[in-house]
Structure 1
Amino acid sequence: MLKLNTWTLRFRITALVVVLSTVSAFLVALASLNPVEYRMKAVVGNEVQSLVASAANLVGRDIRAKRVVLKSIAEHLSQNLKDGPGSVETFLRTHRALNEEFFNVVILKPNGELIANMEDEYGIGSTFANTYDFFKQTVSNRASVVSEPFNSPMHGEPAVVITQPVFDAQGQMIFVIVGGIDLRDPRLLSQLNAVKPGKTGYFFILDAKGNILQHPNKKRILANVFAEPGGPTPTTAAALRGFEGWREGTSKDGRRAIIAYKRINEVNWIMGSVYPTAEAFAGLSEARANIWLASAVVATAATILGLLAAQRFLTPLTQLRQNVGRITEGSAEIDVLDIARKDEVGDLSRAFFALSQQRATAEGKLSELALTDPLTGIGNRRKFEMVTAKSLSASERSSQPLMLAYLDVDNFKQINDKYGHGIGDQVLIEFAKRLTTAVRASDTVVRLAGDEFVILYDTMAEGARSADFANRVLENIRLPFEVGDAVLSVTTSIGLAFHAGGATTISDLLRLADEALYIAKRNGRNTFAVRSTSGNLPIHKQVPRLSEVDESVRSETIRFIKR
């Protein structure tokens, strides 16, 4: 049996070196892990805070857009209202596009009497609105209000409403328009899920009083955090007192998590996010074990080598933190991350790379959704304004001519009345497909609202080519529409506005196209007419200009469409 002489200097020096190396390695590992964890938490926390800010901005833009829509409807109602409550209900039902923004829209008198309901006749003549604070505040303050959450009596689901007072020419309040927002709307959930942190993270929304507006746990919607067992978590309580940012804390279900908050200033709501640390720091445990192992190996050589090795191991993490910080600031792209590394730092780099790609993809999808008509899949009014503004700017610089076609489905209301809105929607989808196949790849087809469409022709020559493009569209539309079990004969009327180049505005170009469309309608439909910003009429030269009264009516329509 081998016997060790513990009294030899060699043994004692070796033992001392082993002890010193082990202690040094322990201290080095301990000193290394703390900054690693701190930096990782800072990187993940800042990334989650960035996602929360993006989600808050998304919801804020949506609320702001809904308020603009209601204000536009209120102004149009004030200018075009006829006598009698029946005309108000008729006005409301002609604006079905509101269903894209609200689950229902009603119109009330200042005394609280319900006089129009977009969805049905529920509550007509009742004055139940007088019991709601949001209605009282609207009448008292003469201003738009976003309500606190409540169970809607009209569809029995959690909701908030946006109000908009309507004033007559003398400044007297004559109506209050109320638009309802379903807090369980799957469209809102899908938009938030597109940018949520990781797989197990989620977003939630509170108002300033602690009422839960949105949460993946549907049972908590409309609950107040102060009334729940245990009250609000410390981080939520801080957010309700004004805190914005991220903290590591415990969520309501008892999990440790990165919890971030950002106020939605448009409505004084709070956007929150919970990202469980089990997923957020999944790579940290493995990194910690490998650092201890590396430190133990280095300890057998020397304390100095251990210190140098620890410093070397920290360098890639420092670079990773710096790169992620630059990405967060927007001064670098995600390709600065070293995803080719085969170690733990590479794993973290790939994780951050995937998270950044997920965010970029989600933002791209949100941007695309904001420019796409959900029914037909073509561009919407926002895309029309964006593309037209660019084309007009290019036309002004280069004097390059362009043409705008403004068209709708002839007698579309009769199709809806006879076959129902489901068939009407299929007609609009097929109509959009045929418009797309009738134009060039460089042209833009969008749906403004209802059955109204616009085609923007770039680099268009004046004269006969205008007729060629219009006739191609007319011929495409005249082919029978096979919709469900029905075969329909559908036609369209087209108003063409030709711009020879130079300075003009979207509203002027759209006004000319609308005038031409009005002429085509007056000439019997299923045809087209042309107007030009230069005053020349290359086609239909004998078509008279609109009377002042007709032009006023058309201008009102254009102003409403622009809104």
Structure 2
Amino acid sequence: MPAFLNTKCLKFRITRLVVVVAFAAASLVALLCLYLVEYKMKSVVGGQEYSLAESAAALIGRDIGDKRALLRSIAEEIQAGGRSNAHLIRHILKLHPSLKEEFFNVVVFDARGKLIANISDERTIGTFTAASQEYFSNTVASRKGIVSRAFRSALSGKPIVLITEPIVDSTGRVTFVLAGGINLQSPRLLGQLNTFRPGKSGYFFIIDKDGTVIQHPNQNRILVNVFKAPGGAMPTTAAALKGFEGWIEARTKDGRPAFLAYKQIPITGWVFGVAYPTDEAFAALSDARVSVWIVSSIVAALAGLTGLLATIRLLRPLGRLQGSVNAIAEGKAKIEVLDIQRKDEVGDLSRAFFSLSQQRQNAEAKLANLALTDSLTGLGNRRMFENVLSSALERAERTGQPMALAYLDIDHFKSINDSLGHAIGDQVLVEFARRLNSIVRASDTPARLAGDEFVILFEAMSTDTQPEELGNRILQCMEPQFECDGRHIAVTISIGIAVRANCNVSAAVFLREADEALYTAKNAGRNRYAVAHTTYVSESQPLTYGG
């Protein structure tokens, strides 16, 4: 048996100690690294989920607000003309085809709750009364528009939410109630919200202020009150209904660990929630954990082998000394052989410690852009815009509707930063974004790509003259001087607009067309726009300039 395999041998004991210490150190480093990675990933994933919830809640709030404004304008139109005839009201509704785009259905009830108009099915007129419905009585009592609780429509059988607006006479008495329905299972609504669904198995849900589920991937839970459901409301959901906003790591209703984020939706008082299963969020980390343990074991084995070889080498002088002593004891050598002139291993035995630090595995690629919203301007950021643009191109290709993309750049923005400071530059960007928001439609998507570069996506374009009108409108809204910290700053912009009559094109190509039009506008003198018209069958037509 080799001497180093003898368990009582000093070489074996030192080697065993080296192996144990090396494996323990590698394991400790691996555990510490994995813990730090997991801790940081929780913060990153949770922050991202809350950013998604914030963006979705803002989108829903804006959409509800736009729909209320549309109903209010129609109610005011009816009141302004003093029209109380049901036939005239139905005629006015027909003059607004956008109602069918914004709502699942629009109906009108008289003061007694009798149905007098239905833009989806006129056969139901006179066959239904809303007198006993909460949304009707609350609207009449308050003489104000409301957003109803979610309920199942008696006319369509679908789960809906109603937005109401009262129509009053000159005395202030409610004569009619205008109501627009939102289908909670609408593909359009779900398509918009699916942008905010995290991962493959993550999902979102919406609960009204009373605890009724408005939207959920499990259709059986829609219109069910969370407090009356089996098991009651989850603690995190109950906290969100009391005003909690943020993210937390907890279990879902089905007991699955997940990252849960909650955000209150403006106007409605609803709660938007996002659930992202922990096992999916940490899938890459689980794979890394296995790899780390394998590598740690290999490193420990190599460290043990290295320790064995080093121990043999370090103890070799002691072995020679032992051999000399044995030779003296056997009478085969003289005492002079012990006169060894060494000042290291034999005179001062050194113990070598080998330490190995396993570099921790790189964590999952850093999550790009936690929020879909630009933190400075409040507009969508590049990530949000890329998602919306891809979806919009797919919709436009299906529907055949033309669309336009405007690429905006603030002229000489660098000189503003250099001469007035970055704080003033930031204020210019914020005011610029505010003005953009004031002129776009609800269906348009403004976003900030980077620095002073902005874009606006116009869907459902109806005529070729719209881009020119929009270009002039954007230029005009920027004409008044910007007031920043008491300074009045003249700001001009250059705009490139790409128009697509057929959208069988990639997002990158579409964006490049708008960018090229932008540089055309810049080269033409700035403070203007250039429009590139492109169709499916021909190359870009001559550019149109304006300014």
TM-score range, shorter chain: 0.5 to 0.7
**1:369, 1:208 → 2: CA distance?**
35
Instruction: Report if aligned partners of 1:183, 1:213 keep a CA contact under 8 Å in 2.
Output: yes
What is the aligned partner in structure 1 of residue 294 from structure 2?
293
User: Where do residues 128-527 of structure 1 align in structure 2 (5 Å cutoff)?
Assistant: 128-299=129-300, 300-301=302-303, 305-307=355-357, 309-310=358-359, 313=360, 316-317=362-363, 361-365=386-390, 376-378=401-403, 383=458, 386-392=470-476
**1:47, 1:61 → 2: CA distance?**
21
**1:236, 1:195 → 2: CA distance?**
19
What is the aligned partner in structure 2 of residue 93 from structure 1?
94
SS at match of 1:130: coil
What is the aligned partner in structure 1 of residue 37 from structure 2?
36
Structure 2 unaligned spans of 5+? 308-352, 405-439, 445-457, 459-465, 481-489, 493-500, 503-512, 515-527, 532-545
User: Where do residues 524-539 of structure 1 align in structure 2 (5 Å cutoff)?
Assistant: none
Pairwise CA distance, 1:395: 8.7
Instruction: Report if aligned partners of 1:108, 1:114 keep a CA contact under 8 Å in 2.
Output: yes
Cα 1:33–1:91 change in 2 (3 A) is same
1:153 maps to amino acid: A
Instruction: Report if aligned partners of 1:195, 1:358 keep a CA contact under 8 Å in 2.
Output: no
1:377 maps to amino acid: P
CA offsets 1:384-408 (integer angstroms, 9 cap, x no match): 5753422435899999xxxxxxxxx
| Between structures 1 and 2, the one with greater helix share | 1
1:389 maps to amino acid: R
**1:110, 1:156 → 2: CA distance?**
24
**2:116, 2:390 → 1: CA distance?**
40
Pairwise CA distance, 1:283: 0.5
Instruction: Report if aligned partners of 1:25, 1:298 keep a CA contact under 8 Å in 2.
Output: yes
Instruction: Report if aligned partners of 1:108, 1:176 keep a CA contact under 8 Å in 2.
Output: yes
Instruction: Report if aligned partners of 2:48, 2:370 keep a CA contact under 8 Å in 1.
Output: no
Pairwise CA distance, 1:167: 3.0
**1:193, 1:126 → 2: CA distance?**
37
2:97 maps to amino acid: R
CA offsets 1:266-300 (integer angstroms, 9 cap, x no match): 21111112222232111111111222233334445
Pairwise CA distance, 1:375: 7.2
**1:78, 1:13 → 2: CA distance?**
97
Asked if 1:120 is matched to 2:170, the reply is no
Pairwise CA distance, 1:69: 0.7
**2:248, 2:11 → 1: CA distance?**
53
Mean Cα deviation higher: 146-155 or 26-35: 26-35
**1:283, 1:86 → 2: CA distance?**
63
Pairwise CA distance, 1:77: 1.4
**1:151, 1:389 → 2: CA distance?**
43
CA offsets 1:368-421 (integer angstroms, 9 cap, x no match): 89999967334696555753422435899999xxxxxxxxxxxxxxxxxxxxxx
**1:90, 1:284 → 2: CA distance?**
62
Cα 1:394–1:48 change in 2 (3 A) is closer
Aligned length: 381
SS at match of 1:265: coil
What is the aligned partner in structure 1 of residue 68 from structure 2?
67
What is the aligned partner in structure 1 of residue 15 from structure 2?
14
SS at match of 2:181: strand
Cα 1:372–1:240 change in 2 (3 A) is farther
1:387 maps to amino acid: G
Instruction: Report if aligned partners of 1:81, 1:88 keep a CA contact under 8 Å in 2.
Output: no
Q: Which has the higher relative contact order, 1 or 2, with Cα contacts under 8 A spaced 6 or more apart?
A: 2
Mean Cα deviation higher: 120-129 or 258-267: 120-129
Cα 1:42–1:67 change in 2 (3 A) is same
**1:149, 1:329 → 2: CA distance?**
29
Cα 1:240–1:9 change in 2 (3 A) is same
Mean Cα deviation higher: 385-394 or 203-212: 385-394
Instruction: Report if aligned partners of 1:298, 1:305 keep a CA contact under 8 Å in 2.
Output: no
Instruction: Report if aligned partners of 1:215, 1:221 keep a CA contact under 8 Å in 2.
Output: yes
Cα 1:372–1:149 change in 2 (3 A) is farther
Instruction: Report if aligned partners of 1:191, 1:366 keep a CA contact under 8 Å in 2.
Output: no
What is the aligned partner in structure 1 of residue 27 from structure 2?
26
**1:157, 1:148 → 2: CA distance?**
14
Pairwise CA distance, 1:317: 4.1
| TM-score, reference length from structure 2 | 0.61
**1:166, 1:28 → 2: CA distance?**
71
CA offsets 1:2-24 (integer angstroms, 9 cap, x no match): 57212222211111122222222
What is the aligned partner in structure 2 of residue 49 from structure 1?
50
**2:477, 2:242 → 1: CA distance?**
47
**1:326, 1:130 → 2: CA distance?**
48
What is the aligned partner in structure 1 of residue 437 from structure 2?
none
**2:207, 2:231 → 1: CA distance?**
17
**2:48, 2:143 → 1: CA distance?**
41
SS at match of 1:21: helix
What is the aligned partner in structure 2 of residue 348 from structure 1?
none
**2:474, 2:382 → 1: CA distance?**
29
Instruction: Report if aligned partners of 1:204, 1:215 keep a CA contact under 8 Å in 2.
Output: yes
Instruction: Report if aligned partners of 1:122, 1:154 keep a CA contact under 8 Å in 2.
Output: no
Instruction: Report if aligned partners of 2:55, 2:373 keep a CA contact under 8 Å in 1.
Output: no
**2:174, 2:69 → 1: CA distance?**
18
Cα 1:374–1:30 change in 2 (3 A) is same
**2:63, 2:124 → 1: CA distance?**
28
What is the aligned partner in structure 2 of residue 412 from structure 1?
none
Mean Cα deviation higher: 368-377 or 285-294: 368-377
1:306 maps to amino acid: L
Pairwise CA distance, 1:161: 0.2
Structure 1 unaligned spans of 5+? 333-355, 400-428, 431-440, 443-456, 461-499, 502-563
**1:367, 1:266 → 2: CA distance?**
27
1:276 maps to amino acid: P
Instruction: Report if aligned partners of 1:60, 1:264 keep a CA contact under 8 Å in 2.
Output: yes
Pairwise CA distance, 1:28: 2.1
Larger radius of gyration: 2
SS at match of 2:205: strand
Pairwise CA distance, 1:31: 1.9
Instruction: Report if aligned partners of 1:372, 1:378 keep a CA contact under 8 Å in 2.
Output: no
**2:382, 2:285 → 1: CA distance?**
21
